[in-house]
Structure 1
Amino acid sequence: MGGFRVLVGQRPVPDAVWSRRKPATLVKLLALAPAYRLRREQVMDLLWPELEPAAAGANLRKALHAARRALDVGDGPGEGTALIGSVGDLLCLPSDEVSVDVSDYRALAAHARQTRVAGAYWDALDLHRDGLLPEDRYEDWASAPREELRADWVALATELASLLEEGGEVDEAARAVARLVAAEPAHEEHHVRLMRLYALAGRREEARRQYDRLRAALGAELGVEPSPRAQRLYEEIRGGRGGEPDLAVELWEKVGDLRAQSGDDDGASRAYEQALRAVTEPVATIRLHRRMATALLMAHHTDQAARHLHAAEALAPDVAERGRIACVRAHLKRECGDLDAAAALADHAHEVALEHGGEDDVVDALEALAIISHMRGDWRAGLLAQIGRLAGTDLGGRVGRYLEINHCAGQYQLYGDAFAGDVADYARQTLALAERSDAVAVQAFAWCLLGESMLLRGQFEEADACLARSCELYTPMGSRTVALPWLRRAELAVCTGAFDAAAAHLKWATAIATVAPTSRHAWARLHAIAALSALEQDDLDAAVEAVAAAQVTASRYGDCPSCGALLHPLGAETLARAGDLAGAREFAAVAARTVDTFDSTAWRAMAASAAAWVSLAEGDRGAARDGFEAAAAAFDKAGHPFWTARARRHADAAG
């Protein structure tokens, strides 16, 4: 990052020895590759795509010889040969002896996201410098990793700014957003955010100057004026109103909403508390108390949530707001174990929402009813009862959020010992009722559930037809819908060896998960299937990339223990095969904890498989064989033939 430079030990390699571009590019490619290794054919395709294999091979041999000579900066010749190794068809750097700042950045970014310590974020951001290999900005092979790292850096800086805002460190948040403005000068949202932060910090003149910079940047790059929203903010700041309580309330409420969406309930509570300290308008006060109660309930703080709901009710809310409060009270009763009272409140909230509320209120009430039905053990009957309510109801952009809750409950049905046997029959019953009621969204859900059941049972042709129909029904509902049927189609394609089709389905699912409001249910399974596809093709590097990506998305969006359970055994397998014993152990521990929470034969099989991979990485082949055999027996009992056969292959290999 910031420019290509190589040191061997403490000795720098002189820039002059890289006068020929191809040897330097070879070192760069290896330094950026997963595990610092690439197949010779990959290197030839990247460096000499226009040449025949024989000519490209000859050029590679020359470049490799020159690169090794360039690295001979020690006491004698031959050091470069040791530093760029050749193992069969692979060229590699010594992974246990090499340090690359790109890898350092990724490690620092992951540490920052795990610890949520501002200093860790700054360390990672500073390492990015001027981006990846600025001298190669026009090279095709460098563009993808450069853009990936740049996008991650922007996301990291955005996360830091939100973290600092949440903690009330407005000046430091402004410093983080200023970095974003410098990196993306024509991105209006960064400028507007910085203007708000300057205003909140009392730095009005800087806020006004920031608007001038925004106007100049938009005019120079896009030939447009700032948006009406940015102009209104500028007028507020120029008129002396930009740092008043209303602006503080809006900012903190937005921070709270963002934190809630990412699953950071404690952070959301702190942000809503900051907003409540500044708010003066009664309607906003009621809304903030309700949102504060919701965040507290997600963190299981029932007493505090009850106090905020009482405060909201004491301010005499209107009918629609009383319905919203009733919905939150339903969650409070559920959290306290009074499921009958919770169901009655959610029913009331739904009736009020239909008559007086909006689209969001209707979906919130339906979500509450789905969760309560699942907790009561009558989710199946609860969904069937809701189908009539959904007839003629436009769920709009929230259709994905409502159905994602039901898909999540469906995973318990598919993998739970008490339910899995007749899931297909229940899906057919649901489909028939949804068709009679013309509830298209539930039809899409039922086709997916039926396809999932057949997929797990090894009925691949029938599964593909059902899942394709689910995708067909979901597609017109918009991009912010449900990724699961595309994910299951990708899983099916891997099971049948259709890896190109799997990649296409995963690409579609990724697009949905990127914008869906409940994407935490999708990301872990998405990356798990990508890892499975790579493992089945013996592409360990791609599997490692998928597992690393899963850890990044979990830190951004949160995860769902049941929807993401497949990642744990595949993550353990990937990292065990890659030699990362600590990482494999971590995935195996999570798989074991999942069984403690959701005990079933299928999830026990996943945990046994994960533990077996750890045993294999530790060198205990006997324990590994026994673990794989236990996993195969459990998968067989659960009726999952693909996973049974796979575990048996691993047992034979371990033996």
Structure 2
Amino acid sequence: MKVSVQLLGRFSVRIDDREISAAAWKRDRAAAIVKFLAVAPQHRVHREQAMEAFWPDLDVELAGANLRKAIHFARRAVGAHDLLELDKQIVAISPDVAFETDVERFEAAAKVALKSRDPADCEKAAGLYGGVLLPDDRFLDWLDTPRNQLQRLYGDVLRAGRLWRLLIALDPTDEEAQCALMQAALDAGNRSEAIRQFYQLRERLHVELGVGPSKPAIELYERALALSGVEPVTPVERIRAALAWSLVHLQSGDFDKAAELARQTRSQALDAGLGREVGEAGAVLGLTAHVQGRWRDLFRREFTEWVESRSSFVSAVFDGHLCLAEFCLCDAKGHGAIAEAARELLAVAEEAGSAAGKGLACLILGEIARCADDLTEAEKLLTEAERLHVEANAVSGRVLVLERLAEIALARGQKWRAGRLIQRALADATQSWLSSHLLLRLQALAVRAAATEEEVADAILAGDRLLTPGACQPCSMALRTASAIALAEAGDLEQVDRRLNEAERIAGMWQGGPWAAALWEARGVQRQAQANRMRALAALTEAAARYEDLGRPADHARCLKRMAEL
């Protein structure tokens, strides 16, 4: 019998010439034990390793029984009893089976390629890397090490073969690869290709890491702009170079220089009619003010100045502040003072006749009402905010309004209505330059709005694909906690601890808002699913107290209800 297992890019098992259908793996643990052994050195592990990986909270007797069941169902799935062996100490793929994996084929080819450094060998090895190791099992701790090792090995092969485009496909933020292609384009006198490559790098760094290109990359870009004998440099090209430099100053801690350059760049973008660049320059201004502890003052001045100017770029300016406005205003303590400030801003916008200004003020007031559990008033304000954002053609703001309206639908138990609002918001979110932030927030709601186990699993998987290493951390928090709670409530505890550990790390970096409370609530649900009543009560008590302190009665009541169920 010949068994071939695919682990790179997806999971599949072939017995001789027959592929086992996905439906055959009715038990998750049956597939998991095959994956575990396929990845393990020599395809054998001590039985305690398997029990610790899959049932760490059970005693030895129960974990051993579960292991035997998993092996039984795995044998049934593949239709071959002699595939897996289990004795008192070792679980293994039978040595009598001709067993191979795509991982082993890739590793063997990569070893040859790195030794020879021959481009042909590198291309051959690269062709055997079918993708990330078991991508649908991202949050399994035992896969972290082999997954990272394989990805590094693939990157080493690409770098050895100077396969820059494949390296960029693996990691779009790899500046060595991007700069190598820019340099090659410059050497060939291809100015437009060098510029296109820089724009690609700039966009991916923004989406993946929230940063700008490095000094060497910007210098290559400026060399491309300075090439003689070609068309003149356009305003957008100069403005994007200036924005990149402002981010370099911000990242180096020269906040005053970053702010000065951002103001100059925004003025130039206004003159050139470049809405996105107006927003991006405003975002740099907001970030510099935030790290210096003066964002709220800046936002108040900016709001008043721009709505009174009656500029057509008001929505673009507000886009640059949206994430910080959500973080610093809508989820902060002291709702009374924030509401008063928002009403003042609303009055300024009404006097100026600014639909964008009135829409943003109504969004803030509607969010405050929602947090206070005044759903009728919140819906009224947010519905008006949506109308105003449509009138102002403010796409990003409208997406946030629809997100909050979906929150209200969920609070009322109307999952069907929340789902429709989410779909409307998703259609708009893709049109915004803030899409990478907005999609994370909407996917968190999609997890909560899912009506069946299958829909929940699909929503979590779609969310996991958005959680790239550089995904906006504040915007990812709701998705991380929602996914952890949904998995815990479904009894799928294997991934919960890892998700919450990541969320706790992020919450520790961004103090404020309801995140700490949400984490305590998720821990409580996790402990409840683990049948640890005392720790569940302690966690939910802490969550309830924090929600109460934040002035969020509905969240507070939900935690009390969970406690009563215990």
TM-score range, shorter chain: 0.5 to 0.7
Q: Distance in 2 between matches of 1:122 and 1:308?
A: 28
Give the one of 387, 392, 407 matched to 2:322. Answer: 407
Equivalent pair of 2:333/2:550 in contact (CA under 8 Å) = no
Moved more, 608-617 or 420-429: 420-429
Give the one of 119, 142, 150 matched to 2:129. Answer: 119
In structure 2, the residue matched to 1:423 is: 338
Per-residue CA deviations over 1:373-410 (Å, capped at 9, x if unaligned) read 333332233233334346444449xx57x644422112
In structure 2, the residue matched to 1:565 is: 477
Q: Distance in 1 between matches of 2:435 and 2:176?
A: 21
In structure 2, the residue matched to 1:526 is: 442
Per-residue CA deviations over 1:84-110 (Å, capped at 9, x if unaligned) read xxxxxxxxxx99947989xxxxxx9xx
Per-residue CA deviations over 1:104-141 (Å, capped at 9, x if unaligned) read xxxx9xxxxxxx9972439989xxxxxxxxxxxxxxxx
Q: Distance in 2 between matches of 1:443 and 1:33?
A: 53
Q: Distance in 1 between matches of 2:466 and 2:415?
A: 23
Q: Distance in 2 between matches of 1:274 and 1:585?
A: 41
Higher relative contact order (CA 8 A, sep 6+): 2
Moved more, 584-593 or 541-550: 541-550
Other structure's SS at 2:495 match: helix
In structure 1, the residue matched to 2:284 is: 368
The Cα shift of 1:32 comes to: 11
Change (3 A) 1:634 1:464: same
The Cα shift of 1:169 comes to: 12
The Cα shift of 1:502 comes to: 1.7
1:364 maps to amino acid:
E
In structure 1, the residue matched to 2:370 is: 455
In structure 2, the residue matched to 1:50 is: none
Q: Distance in 2 between matches of 1:404 and 1:100?
A: 52
In structure 2, the residue matched to 1:305 is: 214
The Cα shift of 1:268 comes to: 6.4
Q: Distance in 2 between matches of 1:417 and 1:124?
A: 39
Identity, % of aligned positions: 22
Per-residue CA deviations over 1:503-536 (Å, capped at 9, x if unaligned) read 22122112223443322222333232233334xx
The Cα shift of 1:565 comes to: 1.8
The Cα shift of 1:476 comes to: 4.8
Equivalent pair of 2:210/2:472 in contact (CA under 8 Å) = no
Equivalent pair of 1:632/1:644 in contact (CA under 8 Å) = yes
Other structure's SS at 2:264 match: helix
Give the one of 536, 539, 545 matched to 1:624. Answer: 536
Q: Distance in 1 between matches of 2:277 and 2:185?
A: 26
Equivalent pair of 2:440/2:479 in contact (CA under 8 Å) = yes
The Cα shift of 1:569 comes to: 2.7
Q: Distance in 2 between matches of 1:95 and 1:462?
A: 56
In structure 1, the residue matched to 2:106 is: none
| Match runs of 1:429-468 below 5 Å | 429-468=344-383
Q: Distance in 2 between matches of 1:487 and 1:292?
A: 30
Residue 565 (structure 2) pairs with residue 653 (structure 1): yes
Residue 155 (structure 2) pairs with residue 277 (structure 1): no
Residue 263 (structure 2) pairs with residue 354 (structure 1): no
Change (3 A) 1:420 1:544: farther
The Cα shift of 1:438 comes to: 3.8
Per-residue CA deviations over 1:586-606 (Å, capped at 9, x if unaligned) read 221122112211223622111
Change (3 A) 1:118 1:562: farther
Q: Distance in 1 between matches of 2:336 and 2:167?
A: 45
Equivalent pair of 1:491/1:529 in contact (CA under 8 Å) = yes
Q: Distance in 2 between matches of 1:653 and 1:96?
A: 36
| Match runs of 1:219-618 below 5 Å | 266-267=173-174, 270-279=177-186, 280-281=189-190, 305-310=214-219, 320=235, 321-356=237-272, 358-387=274-303, 388-389=305-306, 391-395=309-313, 399=315, 403-414=318-329, 417=332, 420-476=335-391, 481-482=396-397, 483-534=399-450, 539-555=452-468, 559-600=471-512, 602-618=514-530
Q: Distance in 1 between matches of 2:361 and 2:391?
A: 17
Q: Distance in 2 between matches of 1:272 and 1:329?
A: 16
Per-residue CA deviations over 1:575-595 (Å, capped at 9, x if unaligned) read 112222121112211221122
1:462 maps to amino acid:
E
Q: Distance in 1 between matches of 2:202 and 2:430?
A: 28
1:353 maps to amino acid:
A
1:341 maps to amino acid:
K
Change (3 A) 1:295 1:336: farther
Moved more, 449-458 or 333-342: 333-342
Equivalent pair of 1:601/1:637 in contact (CA under 8 Å) = no
Per-residue CA deviations over 1:542-573 (Å, capped at 9, x if unaligned) read 33332222113335x96322223222332222
Other structure's SS at 1:407 match: helix
Change (3 A) 1:529 1:472: same
Other structure's SS at 1:121 match: coil
Moved more, 314-323 or 603-612: 314-323
In structure 1, the residue matched to 2:55 is: none
1:119 maps to amino acid:
Y
Q: Distance in 1 between matches of 2:527 and 2:134?
A: 34
Other structure's SS at 2:467 match: helix
Q: Distance in 1 between matches of 2:562 and 2:433?
A: 38
Equivalent pair of 2:182/2:198 in contact (CA under 8 Å) = no
Q: Distance in 1 between matches of 2:435 and 2:480?
A: 18
TM-score (norm 2): 0.64
Give the one of 531, 535, 551 matched to 1:639. Answer: 551
Equivalent pair of 1:306/1:332 in contact (CA under 8 Å) = yes
Equivalent pair of 1:499/1:533 in contact (CA under 8 Å) = yes
Q: Distance in 2 between matches of 1:552 and 1:288?
A: 25
The Cα shift of 1:477 comes to: 5.6
Other structure's SS at 1:119 match: coil
The Cα shift of 1:332 comes to: 1.8
Q: Distance in 1 between matches of 2:337 and 2:321?
A: 17
Gaps of 5+ in 2: 1-14, 30-69, 79-101, 103-125, 136-150, 227-231
Equivalent pair of 2:185/2:191 in contact (CA under 8 Å) = no
Change (3 A) 1:414 1:361: closer
Gaps of 5+ in 1: 1-9, 14-26, 37-93, 102-107, 109-115, 126-159, 173-247
Change (3 A) 1:443 1:34: farther
Q: Distance in 2 between matches of 1:294 and 1:313?
A: 17
Change (3 A) 1:384 1:255: farther
Other structure's SS at 2:129 match: helix
CA RMSD after TM alignment: 4.6
Change (3 A) 1:455 1:301: closer
2:558 maps to amino acid:
R
1:432 maps to amino acid:
A
Equivalent pair of 1:612/1:625 in contact (CA under 8 Å) = yes
The Cα shift of 1:646 comes to: 0.8
Equivalent pair of 2:359/2:384 in contact (CA under 8 Å) = yes
